[in-house]
A and B are shown apart, each in its own frame.
Chain A
Amino acid sequence: AQTVTQSQPEMSVQEAETVTLSCTYDTSESDYYLFWYKQPPSRQMILVIRQEAYKQQNATENRFSVNFQKAAKSFSLKISDSQLGDAAMYFCAYTASNSGYALNFGKGTSLLVTP
């Protein structure tokens, strides 16, 4: 079974600074997909960024980028120029065809952004 581990229950960053959230996963699949989702207090899960395992290039979406280390099974999220609106729970998720593309989530990291 695939597992997704987020070792940082809570993180804090100052506005305009950079923060990195960690995620590791375990899988025997060679073709899979990784995601970072944001869940603000409204509880609605919002896709932040996705990475295909077959792509060597790290995904980037504006201030959000990932560091995908396939051999190490590591998938960290870097948030640059942090904003107050970035405060939320962040979930790392994995999926692959052998699970019917159901999302397998980590336990989440609570990000606090201070002025």
Chain B
Amino acid sequence: KAGVTQTPRYLIKTRGQQVTLSCSPISGHRSVSWYQQTPGQGLQFLFEYFSETQRNKGNFPGRFSGRQFSNSRSEMNVSTLELGDSALYLCASSLVGGTVNTEAFFGQGTRLTVV
């Protein structure tokens, strides 16, 4: 069974640009969550999508957005990039999410560098 796949693995963008990251969950998983990992702030929850709807949202500005498609694949978008957006972005999938009764499986992340 394939794991959670995040693409691309590495990305370099310029301040002011926008970026889209992709996450393909494990087959059959309907919940996708996104986390930002930085040396200063650590791991922070961005949002969770389930059945194409955002079900939960962390404390991030509106420049951070996401969506989920009917096949459960998810994308997150960051507009007007800032230097502080440089981070490892991790995606996690689970069968249903919104509960601890199903384990969340993480991808290997996308390393975004903003210059």
Binding site for B on A (CB under 8 A): 33, 42-47, 50, 52, 91, 95, 99-108
Chain B residues positioned under 8 Å from A101 (CB to CB) = 56, 97-100
The residue that B108 contacts in the complex, of A44, A47, A50, A100, with Cβ under 8 A, is A44
Chain A residues positioned under 8 Å from B24 (CB to CB) = none
Assign chain B's interface to a size class.
Answer: 20 to 34
Cα A48 to Cα B44 in complex, Å, equals 19
Cα A23 to Cα B72 in complex, Å, equals 34
Binding site for A on B (CB under 8 A): 3, 33, 35, 42-45, 48, 55-56, 58, 88, 90, 92, 97-100, 103-104, 106-109
Cα A91 to Cα B106 in complex, Å, equals 14
Distance to closest chain A CB from B66 (angstroms): 14
Chain A residues positioned under 8 Å from B48 (CB to CB) = 100, 102
| Residue with the greatest number of chain B CB neighbours at <10 A, chosen from A42, A44, A46, A91 | A44
